[in-house]
Each structure stands twice: as structure tokens, then as C-alpha cells.
Structure 1
Amino acid sequence: MRKLAILAILLAATAVLAGARLPVHGPLPQQRPDIEGTSAPTPDSNAEDTQPPPAAEMPTPEPKPDIQKPETQKPEISAPKTEPAKPMQGPPLPPGKENPQAPTEENKPPAAQTLEEQHLTIEPESDAQHAECTAALQALGVVFKDTPRIDDGNGCGIDKPIIVSEALAGIKLKPEATIRCPAALALARWMKDSVIPAASAALPEQGRITTVNQATSYMCRLRNGAGTGKISEHARGNAIDIASFHFEKGEDVAVRSRREDPTLTGAFQRTVSAAGCLYFTTVLDPESDAAHETHFHLDVIERKGGYRYCH
């Protein structure tokens, strides 16, 4: 009987449990008392389909009061204005002692100045050196004569000029050349030591040289006859231009471009042009430029360090 009673109780409990069901919805959250205008989701709503309420219904958070922290404002420091640097000026120079490197004559650089604007002077010559030079000319047989000092103004002129009629004994210089003694001495040595031996080796059938034809000796002008620039050595008596050599048999060897001349005449001219630099400090030949295409320019200008320009 006792077993039957226990069995009956179990069956009754099973029936009770089988009939019991869980609630469809769990407990819902209670609305916060501090939020108004919102509603809790309905029990039938689906989380995926839930849409937010319209914007007009959304609570607008109250703006927080601006809390301004006291700021320490730094004073604006403006950069000091700099004045343009002024050129340093020394005390004024006395008249006649102006800076030689500064542009002169209406601020023109020396290369843009005319001969008159350069205010040049004639270089004085030593009596002793002149006497020594003329003695050397006489020993070589150069025919010359002294002539009065030449002063054409603007630095053009020769302190102790000579007029040379024969470059060496028996070799005329046509026309006569007015030059300084050092230029005449360089010409005589060049003729004696280089030109005559080269002519004998290259052109023996022509006989000896009897005349040297010169194109320019003393002349008051700037270099290459330009209107501005440096003074020519012709204006100082230091230069002579040789145009041709006349030989005993009546033939002339004119100075012209002979760089590609394969003859002995070409070899003669190239030889004497190169040798000229042994005696003159400047040698310009027809290969130098258009201004010298018909002559040798030979001068004895003195340069620093004994520099020579031969082209």
C-alpha cells in the first residue's frame, strides 16, 4: 500500500509539471523616473525590427555650462623693424686721389671709356736705359735717328722716340717706323736670329730679304681702332705691324692665313710667327682674329711675371 501511495504521488507530480508552462515574456524593465517621453519596448517587438524614435522625439541633452579656465595671455612681441644697411662711407678723398678702381667719367667702367676719358699719361724713359738700347741697335747695324718727344695728348706719345729706316744693315723698313728703342731692338734681334735663317732654309731660291714692309708703327688710338677700351701699344710706341717680306729676286711673301699652307712658304711664315714670342711679349698673327688677318702684330708691353701672349 505504501508503494502504491508513493507511485500515486509521483504520477500526480508529473501531471502537475507537464501542465506547467513558462511565461511568454520575461520581466520587463521599469521606466526610469528621470527620463520622460520614452516608452519601453512592447513585448511583441523584435530587436532587429526596432526603429529609433523620430528625431523630434529624441531627448536633447542640455548643454553643459562653459567652464572657461583663466588663460594667461602672452603679450605679442613684434620683431624689431630693420633698416636697410647703408654702405660704409669713409672720409672724402682729396681731389686727384679718387679710388682708381671705381668707375670714372659718368660711372663708366674702364672698358667703356674713350681715350679722352681715361686721362692717361706718357710713360717716362730712363736716359741710361735709352742710351744702352740705342748702343745695342748700332751694334746690330740698325739705321735710325732720334726724334723729339711726341705728345699727342690723352697718353698718346713717346718720351724718347726714334725713327728706324733699316731694320738691320741692308734691310730697309718701309715706310720708316717711329717707335721706342726697345721695340726696334726686338725687331732687329727677331730678324737677325729667326727670320733671316728661316728664309735661307725655306726659300733659298728667293735670295736674301731686302725689305720689311710695315703697316703701322706709332699711332694714337685704342686697341684695334675701337672707340672705347684699352689704349693700343701703337699709341705708346711699343708695337709694329709687319705686312710682308720682300726678297732679292723680286718676290714678296705676304703675311696671310697659312695654317693649312703645305708649302715651304707656309712653313716659313709659321716658323717666324712662333719665333716672334722669343723677342716680343705679344705676337698676333692671321690665325688670331680678323683684325690681324693681313699682318703680324708685335709689341713689347711689360706684363706682370714676364707673361707673354703669343697666338
Structure 2
Amino acid sequence: MKKILGIAAAIVCLLVLSGAQLPQIGPKPDTKPQQQETIDTRAIETAPKPQPKPEGITTNPDNPIDKDAKAKGTDAAQPEKQGPKLPSQQSLEEQHLTIEAESDAEHSECVRELQSLGVVFTDLSRIDDGNGCGIDKPIKVSEALPGIKLKPDGVFRCPVALALARWMKESVIPAAAVAAKDQGAIVSVNQASSYICRLRNSAETGKISEHARGNAIDVASFSFEKGDDIAVQPRREDSTLVGAFQRTVSAAGCLYFTTVLDPESDAAHETHFHLDVLQRKGGYRYCH
């Protein structure tokens, strides 16, 4: 036995010295063909590469998608083009506005219609307070209709006075005759603002107000021959005739004005109607 073991050990030594490899146990794993590697490499090389982000593109931090992406630390936010500041981000001085010229013919026609309705008014000299604040052909109205005072006197463009007179005559007075018949006739319309040089909602930044262009009036209440004034205030849930009156005249306002904001619009208008004659594309009207 010892002799056999010695012979085996000698054979192993000879194999090692000669550089021969011992047989591996089990089948040798197949390697990927060289052709497949070439195809994969070629596919990678020809794949489209991501394009670099164009200049002038940034994300919008106020965009909910951008905020979510930023929170996750990703670039999934939608890009937004940079550009000049929006008017809502500019102060009044930065908007470089001018006073809009009014047509002589249109103004004359408007004045004739005011006179036919019995509106009491006087012509004023051109108002120019700078920064786009002013009126080319202003008027001062003291009576919205015969016997109905405008308190205090209102200064604006003729189209505002005309819209106010028509609204009062055709909608407000008939509605009041039903809702407040025991209080007699309306004797005054009490306004909170006519022409004034300021931004919208008296903010420090934003777009110029239509009041600053002579295009708007804020109506705060109506006074009657007897009884209490009817004040403009939140009345959505008011089931009385007074509540019905306010909702009726607010809705009717959009037949005459291009913008109507009432106490249900926002906190800034809880005490008055904002009525203006801003001209928009396509004759669009905003009434809330």
C-alpha cells in the first residue's frame, strides 16, 4: 500500500513540474458570444443622449410640481421660461403706463346719453397724476339720476356714469320697489371710491387699479326716503327681501358693467360692489 501511495505522489509531482493542469470538477460555464457583446455595445453607443438644459429655462418655485420635485431632490419639475416681470410683480412706478386717449366723438355721444337720462354732472379738465393715473376726459357726477344723489360726488369717465345710471334706472330702482317698498324711493347712492391713483385693492405691488384710470366706482349702500340704508355686505345666506335685493342688483350689474365684484368675491369687497368698465378681448365680462 505504501508503495502505491508513493507512486501516486511521484506522478502528481511530475505533473506539477511539467505545467499540466488538473481536470476541473463539473462542466465549465459558457461565456457570452463575442457577437452579442458587439451588438450590446453598439446599441448603447447609438442610444439618444439627454440634451443639455436650454439657457433661459428655470423651474418655478410656486409650481406645485416644482415644489414636489424640489422636496424629493429630483429634476422632475416642469421648466418655465424666464422673461420680464409680470405686471402683478411690478410697482406702479415700474409699469410705465400712459393715460388712454378718449375719442371726441364717443365722449360726445356718451354725454348726450347722460343728459337724456337726467344725470347731473360737470366736465373737468384732464387729470394726469403720473404713472398712468389719470383721465383724458373726466366728469364729476353729483346725481346718478334725477333726485338720486351720488354721495360724495364721483369722478370718472363718462362710460362709468352711463353704466351707473342705466343700472340704477333699469335694475336697482325696480328691485328696491319690491324689496323695500315701505321705505319709499331711493334718494342717494353712497359710493366708497371713484377716481384714485392706486394699485388694485390698494396693494403695494400689482396691476394698476381701474379706479386709477377713471373706469370704476365702488357702491357701499343705498339710502331711502325713510328707514335704514341698505348696506352692501355678505348676504349669501340672507333669506330676507333685502338679501334678495342685493343678490339681484349684483347679478344685474353685469348687464351694464364689464366687472362686478361683490361681498361674495373676496375679503377686499365685503363692504361694497366694485363696478368697472374695463374692456377685455372678445367682450369678456368678469362677474362674481
Decide: shared fold, TM above 0.5: yes
1:228 CA drift (Å): 1.2
Q: Which residue of 1 aligns with 2:102?
A: 125
Q: Which amino acid aligns with 2:89?
A: A
Matched positions, count: 233
Question: Is 1:116 paired with 2:88?
Answer: no
TM-score (norm: length of structure 2): 0.75
Deviation at 1:191, TM superposition (A): 0.2
The one-letter amino acid of 1:195's match is V
Cα-to-partner distance string for 1:208-247 (whole Å, 9 max, x where unaligned): 1000000000000010011111110000000000000001
Structure 1 partner of 2:272: 295
Instruction: Give the Cα separation in 2 of the matches to 1:273 and 1:58.
Output: 112
Letter in 1 for 2:136: D
Q: CA deviation at 1:59?
A: 1.8
Match of 1:308 in 2: 285
Counterpart in the other structure of 1:53: 9
1:80-115 residue CA offsets vs partner (Å, 9 max, x unmatched):
xx999778xxxxxxxxxxxxx952xxxx43221111
Residue 261 (1) aligns with residue 238 (2): yes
* Equivalent position of 1:14 in the other structure: none
Distance in 1 (alpha carbons) for counterparts of 2:119 and 2:146: 6
Report 1:209-224 matches (<5 A). 209-224=186-201
Structural mapping, 1:175-194, within 5 Å: 175-194=152-171
Secondary structure of 1:189 counterpart: helix
1:59 counterpart SS class: helix
SS at match of 1:164: strand
Identity %: 70
Residues 111 and 54 of structure 1, relative CA distance in 2, 3 Å threshold: farther
Q: Residue 141 of structure 1 corresponds to which residue in structure 2?
A: 118
Distance 1:260 1:86 in 2: 53
In terms of fraction of residues, the more helix-rich structure is 2
Aligned to 2:261: 284
Distance 1:269 1:55, change over 3 A: farther
Specify the structure having the higher radius of gyration (Cα). Answer: 1
In the alignment, structure 1 residue 62 sits paired with structure 2 residue 19: yes
Shift of 1:206: 1.0
Q: 2:229 aligned with 1:252, yes or no?
A: yes
> Is the alpha carbon distance of 1:84 and 1:260 closer, same or farther for their aligned partners in structure 2, counting shifts above 3 Å?
closer
Question: TM-score when scaled to structure 1?
Answer: 0.70
Question: What amino acid maps onto 1:62 in structure 2?
Answer: G
| TM superposition outliers: structure 1 runs of 4+ over 6 Å | 82-87
Out of 170, 173, 198, the position equivalent to 2:175 is 198
Cα distance in structure 2, aligned partners of 1:150 and 1:118: 18
- Which of 149, 155, 166 is the aligned partner of 2:132? 155
Unaligned runs of 5+ in 2: 22-50, 57-81
From the superposition, tell whether residues 157 and 57 of structure 1 become closer, same or farther in structure 2 (CA, over 3 Å): same
Mapped to 1, the partners of 2:284 and 2:54 lie a distance apart of: 42
Give the equivalent residue in structure 1 for 2:34.
none
SS of equivalent to 1:194: helix
Alpha-carbon distance change, 192 to 116 in structure 1, aligned in 2, over 3 angstroms = same
Q: Tell me the CA shift for residue 278 of structure 1.
A: 0.4
Specify the SS of the correspondent of 2:15: coil
